[in-house]
Structure 1
Amino acid sequence: MQNYFLHPDLSARATLGRAAVDPTLKMIDAFRAKGMKIAWVQWGIDEYDLTHLLSPSFLYGFSSNKTRDDSSFCTEMGFVANGTIDAGKKLCRGSWNAHQYGPLYDSYLEGLKLGTDFYFNKNTLSGLWGTTTPFEMWLHDTRVTTLFFGGVNTD
């Protein structure tokens, strides 16, 4: 549930995704109140992913201009919100568009302070796809065996 997918300036038609924010926040608050850990697993592509892991067909699938090869992951997106926010590089680690959307970002920062929340970058459609993803290793190391999935793409 990142800015790239939900912010009205980047995804105007994502009204159902934005409608899922409040129920997701309620779920997070309830889980935290019970002492449960919150794992944020989101897109966060880096240079290594671009040069060693992502296939040309996958890069093409995320291209905004199918006639050029310079519009996929980690390409500059320009400014949004009437020119007040630098969207950064598309779904690239640390960019504004890759942050959690709106109040979800505030909730994430609160969870970091509380020590309940953890963040994991992913470079495929799933944070559990591949061999020894950071999320998978964290699950193993912390011995977490039960997961509840929330958000807009939990299929």
Structure 2
Amino acid sequence: MGKERQAVIGNAKNFWLHSSKHNRFDLTHPESPSSEPISPRLDLTTSNTPITLDPKKTALVIIDMQNFFLSEGFGRKKGAGHTATKNLEQFAIPAARKAGIQVIWLNWGLTDEDLDVMPPAIKRAFGFEAIVDDEDEEVEAETAEGDVFREQDGEAGTPKAQPQDTVVLENGKDKRIYKGLGSWCGEVKLADGSTVDAGNLLMRDAWNSALYPPLDTMYTEGLNLPSNPDIWIHKDRMSGMWGARTDCEDFLQKQGIKSLLFAGVNTDQCVSGTFTDAFSKGYDCVMLRDACGTTSPEFSQQCIEFNAAKSWGFVATCEDLAKGVDDMVGQ
């Protein structure tokens, strides 16, 4: 049998360790490669190579699990995002709290100042208003192809066509037109028959920007934890880690967090955008694939999972995380 080969991957300030004997990546980030092993340590099974994490340097980042993207009030049918909700509720969030892993709720939460400087490409993705020159009359907002407003119907992966390409969501017998980020969403009808003022689209403190039940309850519980309470961080782009500095990155650096477990919706939009930006900035990135969902065609999810495992980081499941935490605590 050959000798064990050990590798140091990275640089003096940010490195992984790899052991050929165990075929495992050590992502615990000790002070030096020769430092004593960090304890406690979380061993996590992934889709390819097992990894080891330091819970104190790890965060569960839950992206955009908000009413606008998941509530029946906006015509959202039960799908992958709702399955992700159940897996977060049953496995990932309890496991993270048991291990002392920081839980971060990273959500759209715009201000008027954000809208004033929002680039046109991002505004287009959420609809916009147009003016008819000769009549000076407002016309319905148009939608970008494949945007978040389209719901799947019929065969998997087939977008439901919208009348005249307007940004319209079916809500019972009502048709609602959204005129872009910051526009009023009107009143929406919930499953219990009640109505609620949904507020302005993805603006802070609006009902449509609140967390989807039961995750809102779990967030409230997390705020009251005696140590390591949950934190809510607003974002103003699809990625919560774009640009030179973001509120999320500031928090991660302040807390010494280096490893990120990703969950949320939509997998191929806000989740992958944040994932790849974090990867480029040197964070360890793990996708919890059954805690991520999208309304896009199935191949969209498959593409992100493939690249997350092969290039950007690792892919695991919520049950993998729960088992790893149970094994760690039981040691």
Q: Paired residue for 1:120?
A: 233
SS in 1 for 2:259: coil
Q: 1:119 to 1:86 in 2, by over 3 A?
A: same
Q: Paired residue for 2:201?
A: 90
Task: Give the letter for the 1:59 counterpart.
Answer: K
1:138-149 superposed matches below 5 A: 138-149=251-262
The answer to whether the 8 Å contact 1:128/1:136 transfers is yes
Q: Paired residue for 1:79?
A: 187
Runs of 4+ in 1 over 6 A off after TM superposition: none
Map Cα deviations across residues 86-132 of structure 1 (whole Å, 9 max, x no partner). Answer: 11111111111111111011111111111520111111111101221
The answer to whether the 8 Å contact 1:35/1:116 transfers is no
Match of 1:19 among 56, 61, 83: 83
Task: Give the letter for the 1:102 counterpart.
Answer: P
Task: Give the letter for the 2:79 counterpart.
Answer: T
Deviation at 1:14, TM superposition (A): 4.9
Task: Give the letter for the 2:179 counterpart.
Answer: S
SS in 2 for 1:148: strand
Q: CA RMSD in A?
A: 1.9
Deviation at 1:27, TM superposition (A): 0.3
Q: Tell me the percent identity.
A: 33
SS in 1 for 2:72: coil
Give structure 2 stretches of 5+ with no counterpart: 1-64, 129-140, 143-165, 168-177, 273-331
Match of 2:244 among 131, 135, 145: 131
1:100 aligns with 2:165: no
Cα distance in 2 for partners of 1:132, 1:74 equals: 24
Give the structure, 1 or 2, with the largest relative contact order (CA under 8 Å, sep 6 or more): 1
Give structure 1 stretches of 5+ with no counterpart: none
Cα distance in 2 for partners of 1:79, 1:112 equals: 29
Deviation at 1:83, TM superposition (A): 5.2
Cα distance in 2 for partners of 1:102, 1:44 equals: 18
The answer to whether the 8 Å contact 2:108/2:209 transfers is yes
Give the total of aligned pairs.
153
Cα distance in 2 for partners of 1:89, 1:49 equals: 14
Cα distance in 2 for partners of 1:98, 1:110 equals: 19
Q: Paired residue for 1:31?
A: 96
Deviation at 1:151, TM superposition (A): 2.0
Cα distance in 2 for partners of 1:33, 1:100 equals: 22
Q: 1:75 to 1:83 in 2, by over 3 A?
A: farther
SS in 2 for 1:94: coil
Cα distance in 2 for partners of 1:12, 1:147 equals: 28
Cα distance in 2 for partners of 1:109, 1:76 equals: 26
SS in 1 for 2:96: helix
Structure with a larger share of its residues in helix: 1
Deviation at 1:57, TM superposition (A): 2.4
The answer to whether the 8 Å contact 2:69/2:76 transfers is no
SS in 2 for 1:151: strand
Task: Give the letter for the 1:110 counterpart.
Answer: E
Structure number with bigger Rg:
2
